[in-house]
């Protein structure tokens, strides 16, 4: 699956993903009013989830020719209960229908047997009476590696068997990420380096035609020096890079995460795209999202160019 993502990145000359972390409150007031007229307590959650799906669909339609992927963060859907989870499913399915690579940001992990169930839910299928049931149409998931090898193996197996991928948290973008991740172990490595080395090892067999593995790492754009060092250290590990836009990072901060071919990561932005209409002073949220996605693409391309790492234009055979 990593090859499909990188092919799409090269074809669109754009290493970004739109993050559909769609809070109901992000919807423009007029859009909400039109869809929620006459709503009652009994159907408010259902109607809100439909409104969120309509919003997501318009954003997907607006950006699908520009960006290769979307990342859908499950928390924003879970909080609306069952209608929210239906919306999560529908959003992933619609993005896939429009040709986008789908990243389900679920940050799961557990002991082996339970991790296997999560992997079946998001990266494969469950067999019921001999019939395969695919629960969620995701191409990649995000995973917390803290439980170690037996918590990761089911995800790695599902990636191999079903041609999917996973991004494991290594150096996260949040302000407190250093509290635990920057601690040093006996041999002098930081915890995030230990985790990065593990990801490299876990994904060793899953390397594709660009030299990157289906098991990638989450590396926050808000830590540029660490990102650059991790790129040099983890040559076969592709990065999911959050932190662009609302968390303060721009193109310059994340070029260190890329290799000499201008590859090596997919940069996510959520709020800066979903709420771009507020900054652009318009209610046309889809057009504003498209403009912001185009601006982000140009910003990263310029930063890669200036760093002497313009993206290659031909996909590998
Ligand atoms: O795994 C992630 O995607 C993730 C890891 C991380 O270190 N930092 C981080 O912000 N994220 C996610 O990336 C998105 C960032 O959203 P914005 O800050 O609005 O662009 C959210 O869905 C976060 O949950």
Task: For ligand 1, atom 5, name the residue with the nearest CA.
Answer: 172
Q: What is the pLDDT along the chain (317 residues), one digit of tens a residue?
A: 999 999 999 999 999 999 999 999 999 999 998 888 899 998 999 999 999 999 999 999 999 999 999 999 999 999 999 999 999 999 999 999 999 999 999 999 999 999 999 999 999 998 899 999 999 999 999 999 999 999 999 999 999 999 999 999 999 999 999 999 999 999 999 999 999 999 999 999 899 999 999 999 999 999 999 999 999 999 999 999 999 999 999 999 999 999 999 999 999 999 999 999 999 989 999 999 999 999 999 999 999 999 999 999 999 98
Residue 38 CA to ligand 1 centre (angstroms): 35
Please give the full DSSP string across 151-164, using - where no structure is assigned.
Answer: HHHHHHHHHHHHT-
* Structural domains of the chain, ranges and CATH numbers in brackets: 2-306 (3.20.20.70)
Atom in ligand 1 nearest the alpha carbon of residue 247: 18
Indicate the pTM of the whole model.
Answer: 0.97
Which residue among 12, 23, 50, 107 is the active-site one? 107
Residue 243 CA to ligand 1 centre (angstroms): 6
Please give the full DSSP string across 192-240, using - where no structure is assigned.
Answer: HHHHHHHHHHHTGGGB-TTS-BSEEEEE-TT-HHHHHHHHHH-TT--EE
Measured between alpha carbons, how far is 104 from 19 in angstroms, rounded to an integer? 10
**Which ipTM score applies to this complex?**
0.99
**Residue 12 designated active-site:** no
Atom in ligand 1 nearest the alpha carbon of residue 173: 7
């Amino acid at each position: 699956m990593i090859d499909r993502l990188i092919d799409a990145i090269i074809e669109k000359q754009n290493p970004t993903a739109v993050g559909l972390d769609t809070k109901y409150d992000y919807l423009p007031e007029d859009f909400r009013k039109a869809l929620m007229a006459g709503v009652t307590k009994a159907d408010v959650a259902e109607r809100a989830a439909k409104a969120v799906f309509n919003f997501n669909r318009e954003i997907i339609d607006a950006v699908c020719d520009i960006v290769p992927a979307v990342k859908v963060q499950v928390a924003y859907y879970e909080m609306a209960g069952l209608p929210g989870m239906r919306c999560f499913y529908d959003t992933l399915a619609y993005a896939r229908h429009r040709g986008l690579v789908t990243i389900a940001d679920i940050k799961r992990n557990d002991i082996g047997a339970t991790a296997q169930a999560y992997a079946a839910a998001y990266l494969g299928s469950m067999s019921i009476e001999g019939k395969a049931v695919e629960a969620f149409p995701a191409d990649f998931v995000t995973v917390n590696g803290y439980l170690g090898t037996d918590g990761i193996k089911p995800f790695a197996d599902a990636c191999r068997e079903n041609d999917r991928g996973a991004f494991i948290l290594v150096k996260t973008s949040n302000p407190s990420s250093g509290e635990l991740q920057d601690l040093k172990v006996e041999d002098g490595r930081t915890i995030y380096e230990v985790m990065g080395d593990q990801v490299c090892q876990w994904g060793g067999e899953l390397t594709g035609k660009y030299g990157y593995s289906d098991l990638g790492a989450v590396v926050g754009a808000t830590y540029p020096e660490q990102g650059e060092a991790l790129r040099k250290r983890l040559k076969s590990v592709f990065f999911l890079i959050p932190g662009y836009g609302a968390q303060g990072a721009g193109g310059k901060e994340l070029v260190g995460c890329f290799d000499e071919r201008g590859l090596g990561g997919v940069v996510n932005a959520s709020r800066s795209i979903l709420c771009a209409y507020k900054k652009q002073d318009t209610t046309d949220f889809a057009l504003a999202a498209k403009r912001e996605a185009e601006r982000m693409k140009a910003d990263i391309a310029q930063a890669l160019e200036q760093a002497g790492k313009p993206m290659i234009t031909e996909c590998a055979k």
